[in-house]
Structure 1
């Protein structure tokens, strides 16, 4: 399957971005809506990934400090190609913005994938929305998306 990723404005695509994120994070993962949507949404760069049928099937955001977060892909499209496309595009945006380093706060099951992609652990495991997470950082020049498969 082929995917296409577009950078979008939070103000213009807020309803669609919220719809995808609610479906994945609020309904599937039971993250409280008030935690899922925060003040960083208005300040961040957002992307939407479309299927070959031009259906919006996922989203992600890049915060001004280089934090990649809110990666949500609909269940039927959770595959290596979708995540590779989404993450590569977010890293491209970070590079275009002049950032040297990107960060993620990933669930513990995903830490090995990120480490294989050039990320290093930062600090201790912490809880976010009732889910244990690890902060990781990676120089953009070292980023490799190949290990990514089934991220949420």
Structure 2
């Protein structure tokens, strides 16, 4: 049995699980203000949810209708185990299925090499988002 699974979910169906991971990573760990984290866009997105073998949430990502991938978060004990890559691949597959030709994201600067491994390229200079240095990255599908 795999250590974890990734599935696509709606915000309505999995809000508690998605929010728990994002709260732990963004609000508690990275100190993102709660008002910035809950931007009201989640109901319009398709979400990827990673769960451990017992069905506990361990990672999230979301895809907005315009091709923006965001809210990539993996709980600390699960980092560097392929969970982030699996979440990103789920978002890329869904973007292709929806006929999108380009996807983009705002990567935390420390995560740029991760996204580059998946074909994303930096676009522009670094900027602050929620007080954290980010860079815009794009990928053609």
Flag whether TM exceeds 0.5 (same fold). Answer: yes
Report the aligned-residue RMSD.
1.4
Q: Is residue 78 of structure 2 the alignment partner of residue 77 of structure 1?
A: yes
Query: 1:56 maps to which residue?
Result: 57
Superposition deviation, residue 119 in structure 1: 1.6
TM-score by length of 2: 0.91
TM-score by length of 1: 0.85
Report the structure, 1 or 2, having the larger strand content: 2
Contact 1:5 1:48 in 2 (8 A): yes
Q: Is residue 37 of structure 2 the alignment partner of residue 36 of structure 1?
A: yes
Secondary structure (helix, strand or coil) at the match of 1:118 reads coil
Secondary structure (helix, strand or coil) at the match of 2:99 reads coil
Contact 2:10 2:45 in 1 (8 A): no
Query: 2:115 maps to which residue?
Result: 114
Query: 2:66 maps to which residue?
Result: 65
Query: 2:94 maps to which residue?
Result: 93
Secondary structure (helix, strand or coil) at the match of 1:31 reads coil
Find the aligned partners of 2:13 and 2:33 in 1 and give their Cα distance: 24
Superposition deviation, residue 3 in structure 1: 2.0
Find the aligned partners of 1:123 and 1:30 in 2 and give their Cα distance: 25
Contact 2:109 2:133 in 1 (8 A): yes
